[in-house]
A and B are shown apart, each in its own frame.
Chain A
Amino acid sequence: MKFIAKNTITDNIKYEYILLGLSLFALIFYTLCASPSLGWRDGPELVVTAAYLDVAHPAGFPSYNLLAKILTWLPLGSIGFRVTLFSALATGAAIFLLGLLIRKIHCLDKDNPPSLLWLAAGLPFFVLHQGIWAASVEVEVYSLNLLFMVGLLYCAASWFEGQGIIWLYFGGFLYGLACGNHASLSLYLPVLLLLTFWGQPKTSPGQGLSHNFLIRLLILSIIFIVGLSVYLLLIVRSGTDALPVDFGRTNTLTTFWDHITDAKDRGFHTKSLQSIHELSYYLGVQFENLTSPLVWLALPFMLWGLRYLWVRYQILSVALVLLFAINMVFFFYWIDGVAAFMPTILVAFLLMSLGLGQLGRFLAKMAMPAMARSLVPVLVAVIGLGLLGHQRFGEQDTQSGFWSIELFWPDLSKLPPESVAIYSDIWFHGLGLQYVYLARPDVSIVFLNSVGGSKYITPLLPGKFPMAVFPRTLNGEYLNTQTGNYLNYFLNANFQAGKPVYIQYTVEPSIASIFFYTKPDLDLIWLGQIQQNPATSLEAYKAGDYGRYLEWLNRFMLVMAKGDDPPLAKKAPYYLFIVMEPIIRYALENGEYVLTEKVIQTYMDSFKDKNGKGLFPYNVGLNVQSDMVKILVRLNRLNEAEVAMKRLVAMDPSKPIGYYLLGLIQEANEKSTEAMASIRTAMERDPYDVHFIRRYAVLLAKYVTLAQGVKFLDERSWFFASKGFTGFSMVIDDFRACLLTPPEDDGNKEGSLNAITNDPYRSTVAL
């Protein structure tokens, strides 16, 4: 038997050229959109682990690191960009192989193959699919996953086609390596077993060594384990010194097993299945995701393809449906992570291509000119491109240029020498800056986070200058543990040695409190001395593309609000606010009101429960509402500003300044009675605030009589004098003098508005 069976189109080189052209187009398109630096989420970590062959978060991704490492030697662009290019290359290769796979499956029906053009007609849909695109333009493992999956299906189809047992063993070896890229692929073992043992080839291998079932299983297992041994990287690399990322410290069998089985999040994937309520919620969201017109357009072809496969190759069709189902169940929670659904997309696309092939066969039987028959699949491809082209990929750039690095660079670069910087959620970015850009070797970065990898990560990226030694072997919970004690000691020692300690973005306030309980007998002087980093990221945004950043943030929020994984989703409002905060400050200072209002409104709309109550932390809510008021005032939408201010006051009725600001807005909006009532309320809650007194006097003078205003000030002056507050009394007397001196320069509308937007409120509710 021949290594590859001949059929009517196998040797037709034109098809390979079409595939190569399409792969090149995809590669160029993905490269144009590729993230230029470190990316978001796991991106910075994976760039570092690829560059240093390190141990990434569970399950470690050794195959990815070893293959992506090759690209880090390319002498073009930054290391981050090169690792992103690896994603694009993997997808480009997957597209080529997928084209071959489609042809192979079609050619199982040797007597009636469709034309070449019909085989390639569906590929543009795949190239421009949102999920495929997203995985190909960022630093992630999913595109390599796709390549492995297509390779595995190709091996399975070849075995099924009867091209020899060699393909079964090729598949076993590849499957081991593939599981080394993403351990979730091991879940598809039932699919492989189904194809291997129930999917007997239609024709006998006719060459090589034939084995019975058990021997075949034994050989396949050995080959699989050899491929899977790529995980040895975790054990070997974890034992080496000075590893930037040693997630989980996998140099013992226990930690190694915990890592590759993702003990950290083991229960997460099945959590939704344990609650009917959650299950129904996620089912609803998943169904919503299916409501795209493209899905409905492709659905008839998918069903047609499935029927074609079922009639001829039942096991293959069952295997594909099983693959689809396993992927959907395992990643049920990933309602916004399209890339996690690569297997689903792949199966859907394969079925659609088979359906299109059926359409080709159907049209071939019709009496129509040959030219017209050739044009139809080209038309389908063009329609595919057109329909998907409307997605406006440039605007959906999930990487947003250099923002992922520019958000953090200014802060790190402006730290004083020998600082200790405390990071939380964005620790991966600290890692990227310190090990890809080698930004500040004199700065030590401490990672504090109550969720995520705290238990698994050594919480210190050491610099040379810290005055206490933190053991590299130590990781674990902070509370009442040895790790916590060491951290405490480390920070105290640095403080006592005069090292500056700074909190970077997103460190939860609650984290600090953990240290109160960690080791009460230590002198926790450091807690009161930690400073917020004085540098802001704003300087990076003053160059003009700031509006684009806000728009990106807006979209990012909408995605985050849907919830990705529960721990992150819960923290999303806080995380986003911290990122958004300095940008809003800058926007307010520079008149970017309309866009900022849109962002804040999206933020408030995105994070609320069914009753409309905000899901963000209390102080964040106050700040957001306060920002909204200022923007509305600046946009001169005073009625809306008044409503927003009332909402703000309702959030914390105990704060007198809220009533005062409400009074100012009402005054600017010519609502004298309400304004006076509001400021009176403010005075009742704080009779000693001279701003309230002055404003009330001005209102009395303006809307009642000047004499009333003067009389009120006399009363207050007497009140302060009787209490012995002579200083206050003198200030009030100055007001009195001003009030009696025309023209009145303090009661104008502009003065009131400035008082609001100069923000005395925020200072009282700062985070």
Chain B
Amino acid sequence: MKKAFKRIIPALFAVAAVYLIFLGTMMELRAHAELEKARLSIKHGDLDSGNRHYFQALNWYAPWGSSQRAADELMSLAKENMRHGFKQEAYQSLLRLRGGLLAARSFYVPRMDLIESANSLISLYLAEIRLGPGASHEAITARAQEYLQLYSVEKLPRQSWYFFAVLGFFLWVVAGFWVIYAIYGPTRANGLRMRLKMARIPMAIFVYGYALWIVGMSVA
């Protein structure tokens, strides 16, 4: 068994490596294709389609390559529209940019610089729309601040506690199998007392993992 494991584990790592290379390549190719479509749509003056394809390029997010370029280009597009007074169009681009990047968050939020810029511009636009053309500059600024606070909230709070919850779950599941193995597995020890003694470590891990799981879920 151990021999078989020793042989299969390097092969498993090789499979994982091949798959990750494939996945990274696929993401980049798809992001690149969407980016090209977005550029073409913008060239033909179809802003909606351009926004959509930029957004889909962000869906194939990777910390490198075309998806990063898509994020930068979408922000430039929004700023360009804003400069020319097309605020509604700019707002649509900014929402797509913000949504696309936030949907790609993991243990970190990608491109926070762009998200923060987008949030400021979105907040200002929403405040102007909400208060109407007659509103004072102060009122708009105050309302924009309120929107900014709302849009700045990152809605996956306390990721670390999620991590502890999952880690705890993983620990108690593995330890659960280990306890069974320790007690009923192919050991030379005879008698329940001896086997339970051997299972002390996995049992401790089990209890620790279970507690971590419960606490993690309660706090996250």
Contact = CB atoms under 8 A, between A and B. Distances in A.
Interface of A: 1-4, 10-11, 13, 16-17, 20, 23-24, 27-28, 31-32, 36-37, 51-53, 66, 69-70, 72-81, 164-166, 169-170, 173, 177, 207-209, 223, 226-227, 230, 232-233, 236-237, 239-240, 402, 406, 409-410, 413-414, 416-418, 433, 435-442, 464, 539-540, 542-543
A117 B166 CA distance: 39
B130 interface: yes
Interface of B: 1, 3-4, 7-8, 11-12, 15, 18-19, 22-24, 26-27, 37, 41, 46, 48-49, 52-53, 56, 58-63, 92, 95-96, 98-100, 102-108, 110, 126-127, 129-130, 147, 150-151, 153, 155-156, 162-163, 165-166, 169, 173, 176-177, 180-181, 183-187, 192, 195, 214, 217-218, 220
A237 B217 contact: yes
Contacts of A442: 126, 147, 150-151
B61 A24 contact: no
A76 B23 contact: yes
Contacts, number: 181
B46 A543 contact: yes
A237 B162 CA distance: 11
A166 B150 contact: no
Contacts of A16: 4, 7-8, 11
Contact of B186 (A75, A78, A207): A207
Given A79-B104, A169-B184, A417-B129, A464 B150 contact: yes
Given A169-B180, A438-B155, A542-B46, A20 B12 contact: yes
Contacts of B15: 20, 23-24
B166 A70 contact: yes
A321 to B, nearest CB: 29
B220 A53 contact: yes
Contact of B184 (A70, A208, A416, A539): A208
**Shortest Cβ-Cβ A-B pairs, 7 listed:** A543-B49, A437-B99, A166-B184, A539-B48, A417-B130, A417-B126, A78-B103
Given A17-B11, A20-B15, A78-B59, A436 B180 contact: no
Most chain B C-beta atoms within 10 Å of own C-beta, residue among A226, A240, A406:
A226
A414 B129 CA distance: 12
A437 B102 contact: yes
B27 A77 contact: yes
Contacts of B127: 417
Most chain A C-beta atoms within 10 Å of own C-beta, residue among B3, B102, B214:
B102
A439 B103 CA distance: 9
Contacts of A76: 23-24, 27, 61-62
Contact of B192 (A1, A36, A166, A209): A209
Contacts of B22: 28, 31
A711 to B, nearest CB: 54
Given A27-B19, A170-B177, A3 B1 contact: yes
A250 to B, nearest CB: 13
A562 B59 CA distance: 33
A79 B103 contact: yes
Nearest to B126: A417
A263 B104 CA distance: 36
Nearest to B125: A417
